[in-house]
Structure 1
Amino acid sequence: MLTIISRNAFILAVFAIVCTGAIAIVNVLSKPVIELQEQKALLKTVNQLIPAQSYNNDLFASCFTVRDDALLGKGREQKVFLAKKDNQAMALMLQASSFRGYAGEIKLAIGIYANGQLAGVRVIRHTETPGLGDKIQSKKSDWIFAFNNKSYQPAQDKRWDVSKNGGDFDAFTGATITPRAVILAVKNALIYFEKNKETLFKHEANCGEANE
């Protein structure tokens, strides 16, 4: 009886080792494919914000990470991609996070021209309520396009709010928290840009050395 149990235990152990090894191999082999798909998705997002014809550098080779807990999302390293044409700074895409929505992190991609004007904003990921908060996505509504070409001036700070509070942005019926969270995150990203734009466009690439 003990011999049978020992043999079965050995077989299970071997099976577990083989399965673990197979999973590890699949992960190693699939990682480059996943990374390539992520890069393609990110490039698609960048080109929605910054027209491809407006830059001619390798965006991924220009990537670096920054962190500002107060303005870009507490506890988050954020990626920045520089868009240059003939080595002249044209724009950048800055990632930012908000934790002021209903359900977890709202991750944003924010395109900003060198003059501080918004090229546009897109939501990279979120867990907001379907049918309400998810209207921040471009495929759900046109709301996110209201940021196009806007800029931030401290004297006009009150305009960076929902319309019912005197701001320039519409709220969603039954959902005010989510749009306000995005508005604040974009405003803070513009403030961060203005404070750091001189160094941002001169920053060395380091995405291979630091992770999100």
Structure 2
Amino acid sequence: MLLREAITRNSLKLGVFAMITAGIIAGTNLGTKERIAQQEKIAKGKALLQIVRRRDHDNEMLDDIWQIPEHELSQLNLKEATPVYIARNEGKPVAAVITSVAPDGYAGRIQLIVGIDVTGKITGVRAVKHQETPGLGDRINRSKSNWIDGFIGKSINDPAPELWKVKKDKGVFDQFTGATITPRAVVKQVYNTLQYFEKHKTDIFPSLKNKSGETTVNIPTSTSAPHKIKVNDDE
């Protein structure tokens, strides 16, 4: 009888100890996940500010999003729900930052973020995740070279569509010495992202659609009132 009681007491103690230990581990894991999520949010916010400068917008882009419809994720080679981040100034849309993946890098998938303003011009591009070869393909990183800044100011028709290639393929974009596959993949996907934006810009920026069905873009100037540019929405 005494032995049975001792076993029961020890079992209860072990059970309580196990519950406490599990609780501590769960709490630690939760805290770690929260810290990682917070660090990722900070890093993402910094990346967005490299694409759309702080002085050009007054909203918090991380909290101002348009969700890419699930059936359209494949158009950008995305595998999971991904938002488009929107920059606004005084409530008016300034630019969108779109996540897009080049599937055909030398070492696999290259995740990009592409900033495009309301007129369709690129504000910046960053490679945020890839496994390209150090010293060769990794020059798509802004920290390694300024090659990726060559997209700034470009649009779907500037240069002409047939010139959205690396120079080796008779386009206008430089390739890297000893590494053509990586920049070729990035150029192709940046252009693909521009095409997606042109098709969905009034979904991303509903305020650009006027009652007549035309897309209008207000461009603030320092010397005159905003003027409107009509953009052809036909595909």
TM-score, normalised relative to structure 2 = 0.74
Alignment partners' CA distance in 1, 2:126 and 2:151: 10
* Change beyond 3 A, Cα 1:62–1:19: same
Partner of 1:169: 173
Corresponding position: 1:97 with 2:101: yes
Structure 1 position 29 matched with structure 2 position 11: no
- Cα distance, 1:121–1:15 mapped onto 2, change above 3 Å: farther
DSSP 3-state at the match of 1:105? strand
Q: Does 1:62 align with 2:61?
A: no
Q: Where does 1:1-212 land on structure 2 (aligned, <5 Å)? A: 22-67=24-69, 68-153=72-157, 156-202=160-206
The superposition leaves residues 42-96 of structure 1 with CA deviations (integer Å, 9 ceiling, x where unpaired) of 1111111111011112212212331534531153433211101111011111111
Query: Which residue identity is paired with 2:45?
Result: L
Match of 2:223 in 1: none
Residue identity matched to 1:102: Y
The alignment's C-alpha RMSD in Å is: 2.6
Q: Which has the larger radius of gyration?
A: 2
Distance (Å, rounded) in 2 between the aligned partners of 1:16 and 1:120: 52
Q: Distance in 1 between matches of 2:175 and 2:19?
A: 54
Structure 1 contact 71–185 (Cα < 8 Å) conserved = no
Aligned AA (1:72): L
Looking at structure 1, the residues matched to 65 and 134 of structure 2 have their Cα atoms a distance apart, in angstroms, of 32
Check the 8 A contact 2:121/2:154 in 1, yes or no. Answer: yes
Per-residue deviation, residues 159-181 of structure 1 (Å, max 9, x unmatched): 11101111111111121111111
Q: Secondary structure at the match of 2:188?
A: helix
- Offset at residue 36 of structure 1 (A): 1.9
- Higher RCO structure, 1 or 2 (CA under 8 Å, sep 6+): 1
Change (3 A) 1:86 1:99: same
Question: Partners of 2:129 and 2:168 in 1: how far apart?
Answer: 26
Which stretch shows the higher mean deviation, 137-146 or 76-85? 76-85
Aligned mates of 2:58, 2:182 — CA distance in 1: 35
SS in 2 for 1:82: strand
Q: Deviation per CA, 1:118-137, whole angstroms, max 9, x where unpaired?
A: 00100111011111111110
Tell whether the 8 Å contact from 1:94 to 1:110 is kept in structure 2 after alignment: yes
CA distance in structure 2 between the partners assigned to 1:175 and 1:111 by the alignment: 25
The residue identity in structure 2 corresponding to 1:89 is P
Identity %: 38
1: CA distance, partners of 2:114 / 2:197: 11
- Please say if residues 78 and 96 of structure 1, whose CA atoms lie closer than 8 Å, have aligned partners that are also in contact: no
Amino acid across the alignment from 1:109: I
More displaced 10-residue stretch of structure 1: 31-40 or 152-161: 152-161
Give the alignment's TM-score, normalised by structure 1.
0.81
Listed one character per residue, the Cα deviations across residues 136-171 of structure 1 (whole Å, up to 9, x for unaligned) are 100111111111111112981121110111111111
Aligned AA for 1:185?
Answer: Q
The 3-state SS of whatever aligns with 1:91 is strand
- Larger relative strand fraction: 2
